[in-house]
Structure 1
């Protein structure tokens, strides 16, 4: 016989209290109580429990958590011959609904059984004997574990017998009905093919309505406020950024944690998504494989409480950052907003979003876009990102006007706190754009460098490079033009153009392959490297190292900037960052010296020495020395020159020595010694770069971070 599916394995408990005699008395009373139990029909563990209580260690209280494991053999091997303290009586066999329906009912001739799909109670029969049914039609409904399960007709035909009734308990495989197979035409069918696929059930309708409330179409007033400032909504920015149909939103139904101040209905209407839209999508899927196009994207919604960070919104950013880190997803964040939100009634002081966000640094590319006012916590998210792209109306600050005034530091308008005109030249903003539409296009271009090579490309006539450096060695020239000619057409994206202007940092492509470019700017201090230029270059090298981008170094520098004013800027420390970062790069450096290569600045551009790069080559216009030629002549021949009284003769002697020094510094002279790998035709620069790249093994698959983080500065 079988136990009913309603059988509960915990059928009885024994609780014993001994007023005197302690544990031994309680154990003895328990053994007697177990002897009085009479359980029939199913196996029970009474013998095992009595054997356990007979152990001397149990009565003595000398037991522990592994006592049964260690004594299992003796506990299960004792014979079951204990005296039972009850009268044996023949138990009348009873029947009832709980015993279930007999398993072995014979099938009527020519019929097929419908077996119960699981154990449970029949709560409804939806077909009658003699009824014509179609395969897949519900015949009975069985309840198990508080869930209802349909028993479906295995064939079309006629129900010849119902083998169960409502309320009866059935076992898995037990016949419920017997069906005589037959061709059925026009019989009622409740299969999926008859469903109205356009019908929206009430439960789904509620979800769709709630989702609609979060969309711009349901918020015309909010959209109108953005139009007044010539800005787009958060959803419009995400729609423009992400490939069509690729966005999967997380947490759309979250509302502001303000139930102590407003009704849920009002919060649904006024705080959709708690002011931050987060999700996963794809960017540039037309150009790159699916696995390279993946991104995590989020946007603070300035139309919801000024884009402030609410308590529930912080939970969303926590989840967002964890997903990006776990699945190695590049992150794009629209950060416009006022920082931490005052007034929420449901929040926790334990906020981990800033920790999680900062941990993304070095793990995945991070881009922040700001098109308006961005203060405090929102600005911190921007500052932790690799790159900040901002519009001309952008305002960025670690504290907004309210915080400044609250600290007794004065009264300012938002536009007076960190305007773009200040934040671009001071290095906070990496790329300044006209509006959010342009910002999105720049983001797509920026991400492309981390997504892989392009198959199609074009470049300028490389013979133009032969004229890029003037024959007059004292004449400045446009290094950006050189970069544009060397790189694929329209492939250069410069970062921090107005900060550290003595150093140019940019992403570019050569034959479709992405790389980073660092170059001296002869138009500023003759290409000398000052503190800001060194900081800018060193951080850019970290960015390239973190994501396995080769570095092209175009060098033309008289060395490090010197003098009292330079030293006031802590030049000793700042310029040394180029050595520390460059010498520890694992990505290849490809070095081309265009003209001046003097002093410490020259080798700082090459990873610390001329031997550090994959190759160090020079154009014919290059010149080398421990310091600038003019300075070396004046210092080296000071006494001789001062001894010449006639100024004209002194100048002639100086020019003579300078010409000699220049002849000794020329690239060909240095190539005669093993100091350079070659002096090349400038038109061959791209060929050299590609040869260097092709000589490198593929970057190993990423396993976690390559750098623990990228400097915020």
Structure 2
């Protein structure tokens, strides 16, 4: 299903995503690095991180278009601000085949350029203020000299950004510089122009959809050119003036054949005249009030128009709506967020408890919108809603808004708020809660509520309450005085450690020098050292570090704290190359890394988080399995433990990485075996039972080193990647996970002309297929899995131009590239892995076919090789085939997903040769009678060679291309171009699993 890319953030992204969801659209969101926890990221079906912080990533046209295409979107909604009025962005979308939600590039270029829009208004007979086009400092001074005070405005502006009033010509250069900088940062265009300043004017704007006028609103209440309160319809407007404004807006919309939602803005002078201000060819922040009085969903109208449908714009204007913009006054973390509710109250916001508000973005936190039958009722409802609105943790303008609505708003203009003194609380500090006064001290009043005491600074003010008084929430507790004096009431030593904190810090000191030294003497690292090496610096947050073994009936708490920290499982969430992952490590220094009651609970907790948050899992699995020594529980068999089910259920949902050094037996080995990939050091032992379990089963006495050593577990396929030590294991784990986090920038590749010489001219000579893979892939991007098992097929993760790809390749150095049962199993499982996580698959074919004969059939060849065919035929990811040399029989068809017609591209190198079976065998079978009729052995051999040569000419790649059984025969040096072009972007699944699971074998 096509999708919608929302190329914005904040409350407008949330607004668009919700309406899109109501329409059944699949949505893709983008976010900068500092917006990763934003609400819009959670609401989208797919969220894509952009490089960088602040507004810059949201202004990267090429990256946004690429994201839309990579994720199967057909439509882009720009929201407001950022690129919403950028004609270049709209044009880039159109060039890429994407529908831009808004007017076309030409209309955007016209109306988005404020000076050109003014010229259009003049042409249509709509009055304008004297003004300029884009202006430099010299022309600006000349205009000021002629017209007096001016307003500096951004040519590509909107939202009050890039605007300054200038009353003194000496202030003009600084105002120009500041406006240019703001405009460049907000819109990517630093051009500015001037208009003569009109004072005491009302700001009235008219909403249009296409060329239909929906109504108007008053936006006069502004502070520093930022709108604070908007009202629809505009109150106290003469009917003839209202009609004239609507007619002017319609003329402008009709003149450009306007398409979509837009606004035409005017200034209304005290004498009742009006002038055109600007046209905003996009959705406005204050569109909400028009929606409330018309009952129309303007975002829905936008999306329907973009889809080629005509929205129903029939409406009856009803009542009055007021919007108040709740903004931040500085950055911080919202610790509590409780918006107002009730009939006729609407809050559009991206905030939530725990939201980290950045000062890099617009300060808008929420829009409080109320609707009532008339303006007076709407203002009363707004006052009530403001009183209920609660935001903790960050300073906001809520107090300012409350005071503002207590004033007379009957005669306002664009300068009203700037002319007002800063609002103050006339009755002094107020109680934040309803409670009882328990102390009145110099400079402070203490109120107790729900067993908690709240200290209210009063400075030198006079207390209005006494001990024992009950006070309501918001009630004044003092008057007068200077609250700044309270800064001297208590000096805080920021380095002081309170006793309760000291106790906590002591428990978090997990250093155990003796145990660590013993571990190091074995040549291994501690669990925490491995976790620290895997995760980015200071990114790991540990869960359950204070847990201890469930053995309080056997040991003292002091002993448990000392000997069983974290109950032997270090577990938490950290970032690996900037991407969050669940990381867990059994601690062999704690009860031999066994699985106890508490660390099973921790394991279950982390696996649940991995499923809920769709996080990869890395498990360091060294340990001895179940622990019989825990006493603090009521278990009998323990068979109802959920950890193994939870781990197995994650298969196919998120990447699972198992790492092991040393001994890994029983339950630890089962968790390890559940993983998609197992990375093991040279000294590892892996077994379903340790020595005690083997001996207990009457199967003999063995040393731990005798059970599942690497010379067994590597060639038999249990271990995917064998490494020398834990440092290399961590590096491989990090590299493996990188293939599941999308493309990487900054790649390099070997000289592709080397591929022209990779296949010997002698068709019978073996060669190193891994050298082909290393040359074809980006430099240092190859990670081969299960190299020593199923050696006839290479399975590897690679990158081509930074994009991760799964690769299978026949190895002619083993069995001539024939596919045996082990190789088929290895390929089938690898294909499942790629399919589960949306990795496209590249198949490099050089095979004489499947292994046949009595020995092969003893390995259940029919089932194993058919399994590879079944898995390959049911892939749901892009698949491409490159024939390096031999492509014979059913083996070649398996490498092609079942048929040469199945892959998205099927190409051959010049050395390619094709046939229903090997040439020599085909000649022997097909021409047996003719060959047996030749009595002379030399003549028979010569005839055989001629027949083989003829068969080769018939089956060579160029002949197949002539019959269009392959797409092309290519220069090997062009292979990467076929890969990058032939692999359409895979559309990631919105949620849940794509496959039920990935086979462990």
TM-score (norm. length: structure 1) = 0.78
Which of residues 330, 335, 340 is equivalent to 2:626?
A: 340
- Match in the other structure for 2:586: 300
Residue 750 of structure 2: SS of its match in structure 1? coil
The 1:219–1:649 alpha-carbon spacing in structure 2 relative to 1, beyond 3 Å, is same
Distance across 2 between alignment mates of 1:246 and 1:330: 15
- Match in the other structure for 1:625: 915
Alignment of 1:510-659 (within 5 A): 510-659=800-949
Q: Does 1:181 align with 2:481?
A: yes
Which of residues 408, 433, 437 is equivalent to 2:723?
A: 433
Summarize deviations over 1:547-580 as a string: whole Å, max 9, x none: 1111110000011100011111000000011111
Distance across 1 between alignment mates of 2:705 and 2:809: 34
Report the Cα offset of residue 586 of structure 1: 1.2
Q: Does 1:164 align with 2:466?
A: yes
The 1:173–1:608 alpha-carbon spacing in structure 2 relative to 1, beyond 3 Å, is closer
Which of residues 228, 231, 235 is equivalent to 2:528?
A: 235
Distance across 2 between alignment mates of 1:500 and 1:484: 20
- Match in the other structure for 2:212: none
The 1:630–1:262 alpha-carbon spacing in structure 2 relative to 1, beyond 3 Å, is same
- Match in the other structure for 1:190: 489
Report the Cα offset of residue 702 of structure 1: 3.1
- Match in the other structure for 1:149: 454
Report the Cα offset of residue 228 of structure 1: 1.2
**Structure with greater contact order relative to length (CA < 8 Å, sep ≥ 6):** 1
- Match in the other structure for 2:441: 126
Of 617-626 and 644-653, more deviation after overlay is shown by: 644-653
The 1:179–1:572 alpha-carbon spacing in structure 2 relative to 1, beyond 3 Å, is same
- Match in the other structure for 2:26: none
Q: Is the 8 A contact 1:158 1:180 kept in 2?
A: yes
Report the Cα offset of residue 123 of structure 1: 2.6
- Match in the other structure for 1:709: 997
Residue 157 of structure 1: SS of its match in structure 2? coil
Alignment of 1:311-322 (within 5 A): 311-322=597-608
Alignment of 1:653-692 (within 5 A): 653-692=943-982
Alignment of 1:457-476 (within 5 A): 457-476=747-766
Distance across 2 between alignment mates of 1:184 and 1:477: 82
Summarize deviations over 1:642-676 as a string: whole Å, max 9, x none: 22222112211211211111111111111111211
Distance across 2 between alignment mates of 1:184 and 1:346: 55
Q: Is the 8 A contact 1:541 1:582 kept in 2?
A: yes
- Match in the other structure for 1:207: 504
Summarize deviations over 1:310-361 as a string: whole Å, max 9, x none: 0110000000000011101111111100011111002442311111111111
Distance across 2 between alignment mates of 1:158 and 1:691: 74
- Match in the other structure for 1:7: none
Distance across 2 between alignment mates of 1:184 and 1:238: 48
The 1:522–1:197 alpha-carbon spacing in structure 2 relative to 1, beyond 3 Å, is same
Distance across 1 between alignment mates of 2:534 and 2:649: 24
Distance across 2 between alignment mates of 1:405 and 1:162: 82
Alignment of 1:79-98 (within 5 A): none
Of 254-263 and 662-671, more deviation after overlay is shown by: 662-671
Distance across 2 between alignment mates of 1:477 and 1:705: 39
Summarize deviations over 1:65-105 as a string: whole Å, max 9, x none: xxxxxxxxxxxxxxxxxxxxxxxxxxxxxxxxxxxxxxxxx
Report the Cα offset of residue 619 of structure 1: 1.0
Residue 332 of structure 1: SS of its match in structure 2? strand
- Match in the other structure for 2:671: 381
Which of residues 495, 498, 516 is equivalent to 1:223?
A: 516
Report the Cα offset of residue 462 of structure 1: 1.4
Which of residues 382, 399, 403 is equivalent to 2:693?
A: 403
The 1:112–1:372 alpha-carbon spacing in structure 2 relative to 1, beyond 3 Å, is same
Distance across 1 between alignment mates of 2:978 and 2:836: 24
- Note the residue ranges of structure 1 that are not aligned, 5 or more in a row: 1-110, 128-132, 286-292
Which has more radius of gyration?
1
Residue 508 of structure 2: SS of its match in structure 1? helix
- Match in the other structure for 1:419: 709
Report the Cα offset of residue 641 of structure 1: 1.8
The 1:172–1:517 alpha-carbon spacing in structure 2 relative to 1, beyond 3 Å, is closer
Distance across 2 between alignment mates of 1:660 and 1:325: 59
- Match in the other structure for 1:5: none
Residue 488 of structure 2: SS of its match in structure 1? coil
Summarize deviations over 1:458-512 as a string: whole Å, max 9, x none: 2222121111111111111111111111111111110000000001000111111
Distance across 1 between alignment mates of 2:730 and 2:483: 63
Report the Cα offset of residue 147 of structure 1: 2.1
Distance across 1 between alignment mates of 2:720 and 2:682: 12
Distance across 2 between alignment mates of 1:404 and 1:184: 75
Summarize deviations over 1:177-212 as a string: whole Å, max 9, x none: x44426987x88335xx2111111111111001101
Quote the RMSD (CA, aligned, Å).
1.8
- Match in the other structure for 2:77: none
Q: Is the 8 A contact 1:112 1:181 kept in 2?
A: no
The 1:370–1:617 alpha-carbon spacing in structure 2 relative to 1, beyond 3 Å, is same
Alignment of 1:223-302 (within 5 A): 223-285=516-578, 293-302=579-588
Summarize deviations over 1:2-41 as a string: whole Å, max 9, x none: xxxxxxxxxxxxxxxxxxxxxxxxxxxxxxxxxxxxxxxx
Distance across 2 between alignment mates of 1:332 and 1:118: 47
Of 655-664 and 368-377, more deviation after overlay is shown by: 655-664
Q: How many residues end up aligned between the 2 structures?
A: 573
Q: Is the 8 A contact 2:910 2:971 kept in 1?
A: yes
Distance across 2 between alignment mates of 1:467 and 1:495: 26
Report the Cα offset of residue 126 of structure 1: 2.2
Q: Is the 8 A contact 1:157 1:184 kept in 2?
A: no
The 1:206–1:603 alpha-carbon spacing in structure 2 relative to 1, beyond 3 Å, is same
Q: Is the 8 A contact 2:810 2:817 kept in 1?
A: yes
- Match in the other structure for 1:50: none
Of 612-621 and 651-660, more deviation after overlay is shown by: 651-660
Higher strand share: 2
Distance across 1 between alignment mates of 2:752 and 2:431: 80
Report the Cα offset of residue 225 of structure 1: 1.2
Distance across 2 between alignment mates of 1:175 and 1:518: 75
The 1:184–1:479 alpha-carbon spacing in structure 2 relative to 1, beyond 3 Å, is closer
The 1:257–1:640 alpha-carbon spacing in structure 2 relative to 1, beyond 3 Å, is same
